[in-house]
Amino acid sequence: MVAIALTAVWWFSPMRGMGFGLVGNPMSAGVMDADELGRFGPTGRGMMNEMGTMADIDSEYEYLSGMIPHHEEAVAKARILREGTDRAEMREFAQSIIDVQTREIQQIEEWLARWYPDQPARADYQPMMGDYSGMSGDELDVAFLEDMIHHHMAAVMMSQQLLVSGLAEHDEVAGLAGDIRDAQLREIRLMSDWLEDY
């Protein structure tokens, strides 16, 4: 059922028909097949809608202004994880998200100020991750991993649309999108492995 739901995310999203298949396409940077996708935990209709909305971009500006609040949410939730987890590997992972995505936010803000000075720096954004109040230990780890897998997938879809649709107007943005896509795909696999273990 979960694999079907995640396949539906792909089928009804801008990823379909853009060289971003579920298996085997060199452009996909090794995207997971349906069996792997099925390991990612439950996906509700709200999450599917949010992922589709995130991926539905029409310009480089939309990509950049949408990625800022998306990254800010990931950083905020990673800080909660860092303080509440009992696992060293999860603490290190949280710190990595904080470090990498904070740097990316700063870079994107510089580009927006330079290239789009008359446009808002942050797009309207509906949070994708849950409320972790009162959670710690295993409960927090699992909730974070389930949420962050879907959160990452939205960024992967968004980045791939930018690249395949030729929306990047600057080489720097195309490079960032490729980096986000590839890094977050690797992290999705890592997080799905941890979920199986936890």
The answer to whether residue 30 sits within a structural domain is: no
47 pLDDT above the threshold of 60: no
The answer to whether residue 52 sits within a structural domain is: no
Please tell me the distance from the alpha carbon of residue 32 to that of residue 5, in angstroms, as a whole number. 14
Q: Residue 141 belongs to what H/E stretch?
A: helix 137-164
Contact 153, 74 (CB under 8 A): no
The answer to whether residue 70 sits within a structural domain is: yes
Question: How many domains does the chain contain in total?
Answer: 1
Question: What CATH number is associated with residue 132?
Answer: 1.20.1260.10
The answer to whether residue 143 sits within a structural domain is: yes
According to the model, what pLDDT value does residue 56 have?
A: 82
Which pTM value belongs to this model?
0.76
Which range of residues forms the domain containing residue 111?
A: 59-197
Lowest mean pLDDT among 34-48, 58-72, 105-119, 154-168: 34-48
State the average pLDDT over residues 9-24: 39
Alpha carbon separation from 87 to 91, 97, 98, 137, 160 (Å, rounded): 6, 16, 17, 8, 32
Q: At CA 55, angle to CA 125 and CA 90, rounded to 5?
A: 70
